[in-house]
Amino acid sequence: MIIVTGGAGFIGSNIVSALNARGIEDIIIVDDLADVSKLGNLSDLRTADYIDRDQFYCKSSEILSKMSISAVFHQGACSDTMAVDGREVMKSNYDSSKNILEACLENRVPLIYASSAAVYGNSERFEIEAANEAPLNVYAYSKYLFDRLVVRTVFKNHRNGVPQVVGMRYFNVYGPREAHKGQMASMVYQLFNQYKYNGVVRLFKGKGAIHDGGQQRDFVSVQDVVSINLYMFEHSHFSGIVNVGTGRARTFNDLALAVVNCCRAAGGEKRLTLNEAIQSGCITYFAMPADLQDRYQDFTEAALGSLRGSGYDSEILGLEDGVSSYVQMLLQNQSQPYSLN
């Protein structure tokens, strides 16, 4: 039996779908369905059981002790980087993760959990070293603190019988099953909806040495995120924290142009250069909100040494290929798009 927390969410439901594709259905979904918009992610999945998030977080050790669990994929979290209720974020992300870690260690159950590239803040280096970590918001801090706990209590102890523990520092993930996330959905999803329904995409203006739309992020397809999760599951000898990205930062302009040109190609229109897209009004810019400026990562780029060191050697999708695949899927399934005003 496998447990997936956040199993009705974006990455969690994609992991369950991939497990199903491998013939694995003995899966327990852990989630909070107070938000029923996530139900669409569950309708095509084959699972064995469901446990409410709060019940599992409070009784995780008891639950794991009574069942034969081969792994816990801990993907559940409050992922709102703009959240202002720090106590709630710490309770949801840090306290619950501590309980799950203790339960997995007690019962010798492998744990593969979601961390975040947000822990790096405005660092210019993205190797997994404490000196590079400087979280800018409470979401990032909750992930940072749990990573530090894992390093201190698991990786530095090397106790006999300790199960596999892998932390996955996700960079900017995009792909299917994210529609319920609203404003926290990926830029690919948001820009797609902007262009399809308004004919225009809006990006942040630049500041300082950064030109308009010149902010850079490492955008990674959920297809690769799932592949890496399942690799870790199948290689239980490896423990550690790994970056999960492409290893190449791309500008917001690159991303927007990829989305626009995929949509145009589907409508039989010619591809545009960046200058043409700007001149025609397809890409526009607006000032970053003042309250966001000091908490915003202008650049991220995954250093993949830790990931490749685990033995994972599969090719990772580049931006244009990943966006093209996703946009084509979105064009085919627009029954309930997330509308941006």
Please give the pLDDT value at position 340.
32
Helices (H) and strands (E) in the chain, counts: 12, 13
Q: What number does CATH give the domain 2-174+220-247+301-309? A: 3.40.50.720
Which pLDDT score, from 0 to 100, does residue 160 have? 65
pTM tops 0.85: yes
% of the chain surpassing 70 pLDDT: 96
Pairing of strands 27-31, 2-5: parallel
Cα 156 to Cα 44, 99, 139: the distances in Å are 41, 19, 25
**CB-CB contact of 321 with 249 (8 Å):** no
The tokens for 32 are 């909070």
Of 150, 146, 155, 149, the closest CA to residue 76 belongs to 146
CATH code for residues 179-216+250-300+319-332: 3.90.25
Domain boundaries, the chain: 2-174+220-247+301-309, 179-216+250-300+319-332
Residue 133 has pLDDT above 90, yes or no: yes
Instruction: State pLDDT tens for residues 219-273.
Output: 999 999 999 999 999 999 999 999 999 999 999 999 999 999 999 999 999 999 9
Which of the two residues, 134 and 156, has the higher pLDDT score?
A: 134
Show which residues are catalytic: 139, 181
Give backbone dihedrals phi and psi of 61, rounded to 5 degrees, phi first.
Answer: -65, -45
Judge contact between 79 and 59, C-beta under 8 A.
no
